[in-house]
Chain A
Amino acid sequence: MFAYIVRRLVYGVITLFVLSALVFMLVQFGGGSPLDRLRLNPRMVNVIQKLTVKYGLDLPLYQQYFKWLSGFVSVDRFVVLGASAWIGFGSVVAATAGLFFTKVKATWFRPARAFGVVAIWVSFFWFAKSRVDFAMDWGDSFRGDGPVWDLVFGAAGATFRLGVTALSLALIIGLPLGVFQAVRQYSFFDQVGTLGSFIAFSTPIFIVATGLQVVLAFYLERWTGLKLFFVVGMTQVGYGDLGRLAQMGDIFRHLALPALSIALISIAGYARFQRAAMLEVLHSDYLRTAKSKGLPRRTVLVKHALRNALLPIVTIVTLDVAGIIGGAIITESIFGWPGVGRLYIGAINAVDYPVIMAIVMVIGMGIVFMNIVADILYGVLDPRVRYE
């Protein structure tokens, strides 16, 4: 298992190298230069010359690439504030090692252990966030917005808030919907669910997003006078002066519509996948065996059917988690959400390739990493899967 993970990580690094070279070339051959905007002004000739030298735009392409690469992999700053972070890190490592050497012969133990390790590390990073100042040297934005690392991670918080909310909504609604549809196959409920999924899945996101804005924000206010949802930004002006409860309410009122737009399509997708997976299991021989043992219907459906029907969904959901990192370009643009997606589209328009490269690499790393996570998770959940 350990050797398998190491091998997958090595393959992942190679993949990322190839990805970076390809994207770098695509950006270069895409036409346009980061300094094109300045050329409109005749008095900028000297500035352009200075910036060209400063950014290394006069160098041959391969030198530009290696200049970017050497910067990308080097650490800019790494400061640990106080001993508590080191103590925390030490105890997290010890707890992880302890969990892995504990032997409990029960089937719930392996998933519980995996969950425990993830939870420990996530809470550690949460704790370390304010005590550790870490940054890679990803260079400066060509648009003069400052260090790329700070730009990307500044936007990442907004993107995670939106993506995690949308994904949770999709899981909480989509999966049960698919299960119930499968259990009552061809019923009225199933037919309505199928039609609804079909419509939601095939409507372009910009229509869903603007539609929600028009109906739930504009017309709702016009007809009922209720101003429930905001259509732009993450928080309103004067957010800092609000009380704690009012702040939470404000976050929710900004988050609801963009999260719902993204979630609608995912709900439809998950419901379809879950329905198909569940139907396959419902018609399986081992489910007939479970019924013939005289088990209650509920046990048959939850313990024997759902447990198996969730297996294929795990892979899909894990890869969707990786998809969060890239942000939602269209939705973020429509709702003025200051996330990675909007940063990305702005960088592309300005041929700001340090930012483009950084975002592509973060997305790439996320996908490589979550692919490995999906495979490991599958091995934990399905006893038939073994890695060597």
Chain B
Amino acid sequence: MSDVLLAVDDLRTYFATEEGVVRAVDGVSFTINRGERRGVVGESGSGKSVTAMSIMGLIEPPAGQIVTGAIDFDGLNLLELPEDEMRKVRGGRIAMIFQDPMTSLNPVYTIGQQLIETIVLHQNVSKSAAREIAAQSLADVQIPYPASRLDDFPHQFSGGMRQRVMIAMGLSCNPELLIADEPTTALDVTTQAQILDLMLALADDRGTSVLLITHDLGVVAGFCDTVQVMYAGGIVESGSASDIFYDPKHPYSWGLLGSMTRLDAAQMHRLNSVRGAPPSVINLPEGCRFRPRCDFALDVCRERLPLLGPSDVEGHTVACHRAAELDLKLVTSEGAPR
């Protein structure tokens, strides 16, 4: 289970706006193995979605541009693939599920038309065979009466049902990588877990790798093998889910975890919040981007941008100058040593 499916190397995606250049993704590198479930967490604007859109090749020039970097997907360099080759990958080998199921389906076409369209596009099958595949994929996501519901329009489905349809559409072509961009944010809390369980079970059945973008740490803890934490366009920490949760190395991850409500906490503690606000990605601070909000910042943090490097734990990387000396496990949220 260690062969690499997707390798992103030093990806930089910038957007030109009237206020200046937005460095939405600024030097992101990571790999995803086959069958791996990767969680991506971070605040709004940290570059999670733009990373996903860059992988899908959905960054629209001239406003958005992938400045440098390489995205290697199973031996294909996605950034240099011609458009018609890229279209075969997009939707066929890499599928994406979006945040808001209420607006993600075309209102004037039936669910069946939209599913069949994708299947016919990526698999060499007839329309009637595609219809059967479509009905089967609706059955897979546990929609009752799948054959007849194919002829219903999106507005005849509830939000949760629509997200199931999106999942069915994403998985109908057996992709190797499924990117889910906050798939449950817009849903009822009670359906969130159902949808995630379903999506990940189906992905497991097919051996599909999952890149799950979320700002819900609980989701990541429950569903992901590995986690990367993003902040202001870069990855600040990456490792296995348990490493990040029980042994955070970066002050930002530590702050995020402290701001999470936990039912299994040994003792009651005040909910913490990461002070300040995320920096503007147009005018990033000098040195470490998290420095203005960090309780542990030193002079060196002002001078150099820390790079993602190994820590004392195997497979756990962190981008912090003080990662080795700080023992964040011991620091309570009440008082931070300086």
Contact = CB atoms under 8 A, between A and B. Distances in A.
Interface of A: 105, 107, 284-286, 288-296, 304, 307-308, 311, 381-384
A296 B87 contact: yes
Interface stretch (B69-77, B106-114, B224-232): B106-114
B58 A294 contact: no
B153 interface: yes
B71 to A, nearest CB: 15
A293 B107 contact: no
Contacts of A384: 107, 153, 155
Given A291-B58, A383-B108, A285 B90 contact: no
A306 to B, nearest CB: 11
Given A285-B104, A286-B107, A308-B108, A293 B118 contact: yes
Contacts of A292: 56, 58, 90-91, 95-96, 98
Contact of A294 (B87, B104, B108): B87
Contact of B88 (A105, A284, A294, A311): A294
A291 B90 CA distance: 8
Contacts of A285: 98, 100, 103-104
B295 interface: no
Given A105-B151, A292-B96, A294-B87, 13 more contacts: A107-B113, A286-B105, A292-B58, A292-B98, A293-B91, A293-B169, A294-B91, A294-B121, A308-B106, A382-B107, A382-B108, A383-B107, A383-B155
A382 B166 CA distance: 21
Contacts of B89: 294
Contact of B153 (A295, A296, A381, A383): A383
Interface in B281-330: none
Interface of B: 56, 58, 84, 87-92, 95-96, 98, 100, 103-110, 113, 117-118, 121-122, 151, 153, 155, 166, 169
Contacts of B109: 107
Contacts, number: 69
Nearest to B101: A285
Contacts of A296: 84, 87
Nearest to B179: A292
A290 B98 CA distance: 12
Contacts of A381: 108
A290 B154 CA distance: 14
A292 B90 CA distance: 6
B184 to A, nearest CB: 16
Contact of B106 (A105, A290, A294): A290
B117 A293 contact: yes
By Cβ-Cβ distance, the 7 closest A-B pairs, closest first, are A294-B91, A293-B91, A294-B90, A285-B103, A294-B87, A383-B153, A286-B106
A292 B93 CA distance: 11
Nearest to A187: B62
Contacts of A383: 107-108, 153, 155
A119 to B, nearest CB: 23
Contacts of B110: 107
Contacts of A286: 103-107
Contacts of A288: 58, 98, 104
Given A291-B58, A292-B96, A294-B90, A308 B104 contact: no
A290 to B, nearest CB: 7
> Could you say which of A289, A293, A307 has the most chain B C-beta atoms within 10 Å of its C-beta?
A293
Contact of B92 (A105, A294, A304): A294
Contacts of B56: 292
Contacts of A304: 106
Contacts of B96: 292
Contacts of B118: 293-294
Given A294-B91, A383-B153, A289 B104 contact: yes
Nearest to A381: B108
A90 B58 CA distance: 57
Contacts of A293: 90-91, 117-118, 121, 169
Contacts of B117: 293, 295
Contacts of B121: 293-295
